[in-house]
A and B are shown apart, each in its own frame.
Chain A
């Protein structure tokens, strides 16, 4: 999962003002006194009359700080301390004891207690100890949050850089759109034309950055680790949903011909989606106006399968277009990085020359194969062969 962008959003830190404090003490008088003093200070109070109830409440309410009496019938305070530390070591425990000895203090500290209150204590002593404990918790949580953030930064470095690179481009592009469409005053046709050309440079650069990002994210061994049964039907509908605007803009019809029954492959959902998405958007962009893209899937027996295995152990996804096609001379190079077919027809299409290499890498990481058939002027068909999950 290391390449995945972690997207867990941090909850804001709980401030000590509305911290939850649990008092575990068999003496009603102590529980009441603590509640009285601390709820006045704005804390949310919970109480428990013995260790077992206390532990249940710890699990349930996740207090920030627990005041624990050491000497209680049944579960002892020491045991409670131990269990709390097992449950959540970040909870601050303060020990209350009537017989404060060095030994019991040491014992309690060993079991994760943070501080000590010896009976009888004054309201001020209680407040100070609690405040100090909560401050300690706040700092610990802050440190944890920073550590987590740093880890995320490292993990997501490429994504972050790409975002940072793309953002200013997107803004510049947005400004151009404002001028081009006359929102900042009248524009002549000549000016419009120039802005369109300038915008195209930005588009190309944005695409290039995205493709670099994709390329850097493909780590074959990591994909191989993540393989699981993936239902192609829903994956394809997601892809179609994403490319619909592009197809509409290019006036290309999208057809989906799924295989009979369920079509599952052994794959990594995210990278497969990316590979199919690249192929489908290529098929749309290198099409003709009014053309069509057909995506079909079918089960097929592997050509060289070990003896004794049943057939139908491969799934073929085929993406066909009715576009300009690829000439015989260019065909061997289309999976090379940064290769682009140069012709008057492809000039208008933005591309980094990384789309197909990305597809190839992904397919190969799946132990699959990719094939292409093309007839210039008629269209191109890409077929990817992917293994089915083991039955």
Chain B
């Protein structure tokens, strides 16, 4: 995958590190950010092709809120976003939000943490081909 840049945003270094290893083994360029501010700065300068985003970072639903803002921004609305959650987190917050519901946000994919490398790579490929 030449010239494809994927950004991994997670406050947990272990997740950033392991996803980076998986993605780089498939020739994706990977940039990481540990929080929302760092992520927003890097998104603007590096313009990644895909964003992998943790749902709960420093505060509740940081990730979801961030993706809402990005999807509303015409400059970034085309950038696919993959949301990382725990299954339980998802049910607690009632994700798979209903369209128009309180937490609705048109994230392109939801994956549970930890994610099987094969599933991650397949999903990444799917999202990238959709947006190519």
What 1/0 mask marks residues of chain B from 61 to 79 whose CB sits below 8 Å from any chain A CB?
Answer: 1101100000000000000
B114: A residues at CB distance < 8 A: 170-171, 173-174, 177
A382 CB to closest chain B CB (Å) equals 19
CB within 8 Å: A-B pair count: 85
Chain A, residue nearest B19 (CB): A174
B56 in contact (CB, < 8 A): yes
CB of A181 within 8 Å of the partner chain: yes
* CA–CA, A181 and B120, complex, Å: 13
Whether A167 sits at the interface, judged by CB under 8 Å, is: yes
A167 touches B12 (CB 8 A): yes
Interface stretch among A27-35, A270-278, A315-323? A270-278
Q: Contact between A174 and B91 (Cβ–Cβ < 8 Å)? A: no
Q: Of B18, B90, B91, which is within 8 A of A178 by CB?
A: B18
* Interface size range of chain B in the complex: 35 or more
Are A178 and B96 closer than 8 Å at their CB atoms? no
Kindly list chain A residues whose C-beta atoms are within 8 Å of the C-beta of B117. Answer: 177-178, 181, 183
Interface centre among B13, B60, B94, by most A CB within 10 Å? B60
Most buried by A among B14, B114, B115, B117: B114
The segment from A58-66, A158-166, A225-233 that touches chain B is: A158-166
A151: interface (CB < 8 Å): no
Give A168-227 interface residues, CB cut-off 8 Å to B. Answer: 168, 170-175, 177-178, 181, 183-184, 210, 213-214
Q: How far is the CA of A183 from the CA of B19 in the complex (A)?
A: 10
Contact B91 A274, beta carbon cutoff 8 Å:
yes
Asked whether A175 and B18 contact (CB < 8 A) given A166-B86, A170-B86, A210-B88, the answer is yes
Given contacts A183-B21, A184-B21, contact A171 B14 (CB under 8 A): yes
A242 within 8 A of B: yes
Q: At the interface, yes or no: A238 with Cβ under 8 Å from chain B?
A: yes
Chain A: minimal CB distance from B105 (Å) = 11
- Considering the chains assembled together, what is the distance between the CA atoms of A210 and B56 in angstroms? 16
Confirm or deny: A5 has a beta carbon within 8 angstroms of a beta carbon on chain B: yes
Chain B contact residues, majority secondary structure: helix
Contacts of B118 in A (CB 8 A): 181
Contact of A168 among B14, B59, B64 (CB under 8 A): B14
- The residue of chain B having its C-beta at the shortest distance from the C-beta of A207 within the complex is B88
Query: Is B113 an interface residue when CB atoms closer than 8 A count as contact?
Result: yes
Q: Does B25 contact A (CB under 8 A)?
A: yes
Contact, CB under 8 Å: A178 / B22: yes
A152 at the interface (CB under 8 A from B): yes
Q: How many residues of A contact B (CB 8 A)?
A: 34
- Pick the contact of A174: B92, B94, B96, B115 (CB < 8 A): B115
Nearest B-chain residue to A156, judged by Cβ: B60
Q: A5-B60, A170-B113, A242-B96 are in contact. Are A273 and B91 (CB under 8 A)?
A: yes
**Does A102 have its Cβ within 8 Å of any Cβ on chain B?**
no
A274 cross-chain contacts in B, Cβ below 8 A: 91
**In the complex, are the beta carbons of A178 and B21 less than 8 A apart?**
yes
Given A163-B89, A238-B96, residue A9 in contact with residue B61 (CB < 8 A): yes
List, in ascending order, chain B residues with CB within 8 A of A9's CB: 59-62, 64-65
Interface residues of A in 290-342 (CB under 8 A from B): none
Contact A7 B60 (CB under 8 A): yes
Q: Report Cα–Cα, A110/B74, bound state, in Å.
A: 48
The 8 A CB mask of A257-284 against B (1 = contact, 0 = none) is: 0000000000000100110010000000
Q: Are the CB atoms of A172 and B93 closer together than 8 Å? A: no
- A/B interface sample: 19 pairs, CB < 8 A: A5-B92, A6-B60, A9-B59, A9-B64, A9-B65, A10-B59, A159-B92, A163-B86, A168-B14, A170-B12, A171-B18, A174-B113, A175-B17, A175-B18, A178-B18, A178-B22, A242-B87, A242-B96, A270-B94
The 3 A-B residue pairs whose C-beta atoms are closest, nearest first, are A171-B14, A173-B114, A174-B114
